[in-house]
Structure 1
Amino acid sequence: MKVIVAGAGYAGTLAANRLTKKAPGAEITVVNPRPDFVERVRLHQQIAGTGRAATPLAEMLRDGIRTRQATVEKIGDGCVVLDGGETLDFDYLVLAVGSTLSPLPGTVPVGTWEGAEQARAALAGLPADAAVTVVGAGPTGIETAAEVAHARPDLTVRLVGRDFAASISEKARRRVRTGLERLNVTVLDDVVTEVRDAGEGAGEVRLESGERLASDLVLWAVIGGVPDLAARSGLKVDERGRALVDEYLRSVGDPRIVVAGDCAAVPGSRMSCQTAEPQGAQAADTVAWMIRGGLPKPYSVEYVATCISLGRRDGVIQPSHRDDSPRRRFLAGRAAAMTKEGIVRSARFSARTGIGATGLPGSK
């Protein structure tokens, strides 16, 4: 049996490694546009120079898994077309191409490896007293602003966006704001309408309120879109372009295609490695069971917490109910930072071994 895994993020890497155990004898090929596994939850550290987010796939994938450094341009009937024009046949496909960004012109996107590297180089070249504006007040924006301010206290750092840390409780939000204030990050509850590009990531940021911010580096931290591969290939998708799936994460209309992670339209799920890894495990189990002529238990969404780091020595962890709604209590400070680091390491271990990460939904 030939199994292709499109994408080597948390979902794809875990699925490929898990399949070597669940479907012994299957010919597994991972197709990824870069030769590395990228820990997206560490990209803010990559930008600030406080950590590394990339590990060669050769160190992450189990022996026997083949790799192709390429981009899947289209999914056909039992085959994928790569960006160089080559086609690869499959009996089953795990579609795990993740999410993407649509940054405003003049900004540097921080949610991709290429954007993070561009931001890291630009940040390293900024003189003291330069101004950095981070667009987006969700966890990605908050962590990016905090990490930059922690690593470069000589800079002026601003965070601009509405719905500040909307996924956590009001008390936890106030604690996140306090943590940003301690790092001298200015939070503006506003919307960026335009960036007048001055080159190399610099520009004038124009806000809905009419305020204008001169910035030496503008970082885009709004993540919400997905690649159009599924739609372009004729798969059934929702209004956001995510592939529609059944209760086993199989593509509606083509059960040979199993979808996991940000590009899967699973009701009640959000974009995170806490979503990707359980779905990667489910995708592997679904493929393995179909090879044997059956089906596993249906996938169910279950969340544990929202974790936000505030530099290397502070953070907030908001425990959640299974439906991702916040619980009353939360953890903050150095203990939260240490716990978050442990969770991030556990997620990497889970992807590398395919056995599930302790404390994350779907662990086994």
Structure 2
Amino acid sequence: MKIVVVGAGYAGTYAANIVARRTEAEITVVNPRGHFVERVRLHQRVAGTSQASHPLTSMLRAGITTRIGTVEKIGDGLVTLDDGASLTFDLALLAVGSTARPLPGAIAVATWEGAEQARDALATLGPKAVVTVVGGGPTGIETAAEVAASRPDLRVRLVGPAIAGGFAEGARRRVRAGLDRLKVEVVEDGVAAVADGQVVLRSGTALASDLTLWGIVSGVPDLAARSGLTVDEEGRLVVDEFLRSVDDPRIFAAGDCAAVPGARMSCQASEPQGATAALNLTRTIQGRDLTPHVVRFVAVCVSLGRADAVAQFTHFDDSPRKAYLAGRAGAVLKEQVTRGTVFGAKAGVPFR
């Protein structure tokens, strides 16, 4: 039995290790690079406070084959790579994650390549230079805070139509207080353009910016659409309750690239999906009934530098509760959660 896993992020790595623990299948993981990227630490990579990566050889179980490359097409039991080579499969898992689509003139920080570019650009800035981070969600907040904490000589600005908009009022105020402490200027407005050293807001105001970082995750790689598989309006592979493609039951999907109702792009959703997909891959091999995926969220955590964070607790449907944890205790919780995602992906022990 041949299994090909496309993508070695949180979902793909976790799933590959689970299947390897439970079956004798021949597993090949295809990934564009030879390391596992901690996407939830890329803001630290930008600021120089974390490497945010681990060699794939240290993350995947013995016996799993790693193939470095980019997949051009998947379907009909075949994975075609960009170098013209191909891999046959009996079952496959699509776990290529998500991407970012910055406006021209801005650098995306939610991809490895973008984070590297942003890191290099940040290192060239002198004192009092202005860094503008676009995006009021977790990625934007954490990037602005991390840069401000690590480079207090810079002027850091965070721009977004609603900063921490998914948080309850109390937690949202606490996020703003943490940003204020770090002297991050907050501008609640959308961005219309980035050009000529300026960020132009939708209101028409133009703000000077020496470096503009794009902290918004949006869209997914177009592999599924390019392969002729059914995708949703965002390009995510449409799957059934068992996380199988509605076109080809041999192809499963997990993580940001899977159109799972009720899920949002996050490692908190990706790893449970990876576990479900892996268990269903295993059950398919064993000829057993598959188990449906259940979406459950518990919190949204944002770091505000290394010594502060806010953990907004949520209902299972991801709606915010009133309760939150902040300060050093919040930072400890966020760090434990972040480390836990790597441990879980490496251990390959399913949630159930």
TM-score > 0.5, shorter chain as reference: yes
Aligned to 1:186: 185
Residue type of the alignment partner of 1:336: G
Q: Please give the alpha-carbon distance, in whole angstroms, between the structure 2 residues aligned to 1:16 and 1:166.
A: 35
Instruction: State which of 233, 246, 250 in structure 2 corresponds to 1:252.
Output: 246
Q: Please give the alpha-carbon distance, in whole angstroms, between the structure 2 residues aligned to 1:252 and 1:296.
A: 15
Measure how far apart 1:121 and its partner are: 1.0
Aligned to 1:104: 103
Measure how far apart 1:294 and its partner are: 1.9
Measure how far apart 1:76 and its partner are: 2.6
Does the 8 A contact of 1:22 with 1:284 survive in 2? no
**2:331 corresponds to 1:349:** no
Q: Deviations over 1:305-356 (max 9, x none)?
A: 0001000011100111111111111100010001100110011000001115
Measure how far apart 1:253 and its partner are: 1.6
Instruction: State which of 301, 306, 317 in structure 1 corresponds to 2:300.
Output: 306
**2:225 corresponds to 1:225:** no
Measure how far apart 1:297 and its partner are: 2.0
The number of equivalent residue pairs is: 352
Q: Deviations over 1:238-275 (max 9, x none)?
A: 11111111111000021100000001111100000000
Residue type of the alignment partner of 1:18: I
Aligned to 2:271: 277
Measure how far apart 1:125 and its partner are: 1.4
Aligned to 2:169: 170
Measure how far apart 1:293 and its partner are: 1.0
Q: Please give the alpha-carbon distance, in whole angstroms, between the structure 2 residues aligned to 1:194 and 1:159.
A: 15
Residue type of the alignment partner of 2:182: L
Q: Please give the alpha-carbon distance, in whole angstroms, between the structure 2 residues aligned to 1:227 and 1:310.
A: 29
Residue type of the alignment partner of 1:348: V
Measure how far apart 1:142 and its partner are: 0.2
Q: Please give the alpha-carbon distance, in whole angstroms, between the structure 2 residues aligned to 1:232 and 1:61.
A: 28
Aligned to 2:49: 50
Partner of 2:256, secondary structure, is helix
Instruction: State which of 302, 318, 339 in structure 1 corresponds to 2:333.
Output: 339
Q: Please give the alpha-carbon distance, in whole angstroms, between the structure 2 residues aligned to 1:334 and 1:115.
A: 29
Does the 8 A contact of 2:297 with 2:314 survive in 1? yes
Runs of 4+ in 1 over 4 A off after TM superposition: none
Measure how far apart 1:277 and its partner are: 0.3
**2:20 corresponds to 1:3:** no
Q: Please give the alpha-carbon distance, in whole angstroms, between the structure 1 residues aligned to 2:83 and 2:260.
A: 31
Pick which of 158-167 and 81-90 moved more: 158-167
Instruction: State which of 291, 316, 319 in structure 1 corresponds to 2:313.
Output: 319
Residue type of the alignment partner of 1:61: L
Matches within 5 A, 1:64-75: 64-75=63-74
TM score, norm. by length of structure 2: 0.99
Aligned Cα RMSD in Å? 0.9
Does the 8 A contact of 2:162 with 2:189 survive in 1? no
Q: Please give the alpha-carbon distance, in whole angstroms, between the structure 1 residues aligned to 2:281 and 2:330.
A: 37
Q: Deviations over 1:166-194 (max 9, x none)?
A: 22111100110010000000110111111
Matches within 5 A, 1:124-139: 124-139=123-138
Partner of 2:263, secondary structure, is coil
Q: Please give the alpha-carbon distance, in whole angstroms, between the structure 2 residues aligned to 1:224 and 1:241.
A: 10
Q: Please give the alpha-carbon distance, in whole angstroms, between the structure 2 residues aligned to 1:27 and 1:167.
A: 42
Aligned to 2:14: 14
TM score, norm. by length of structure 1: 0.95
Q: Please give the alpha-carbon distance, in whole angstroms, between the structure 1 residues aligned to 2:91 and 2:164.
A: 38
Q: Please give the alpha-carbon distance, in whole angstroms, between the structure 2 residues aligned to 1:45 and 1:127.
A: 19
Unaligned runs of 5+ in 1: 198-202, 357-362
Q: Please give the alpha-carbon distance, in whole angstroms, between the structure 2 residues aligned to 1:169 and 1:52.
A: 32
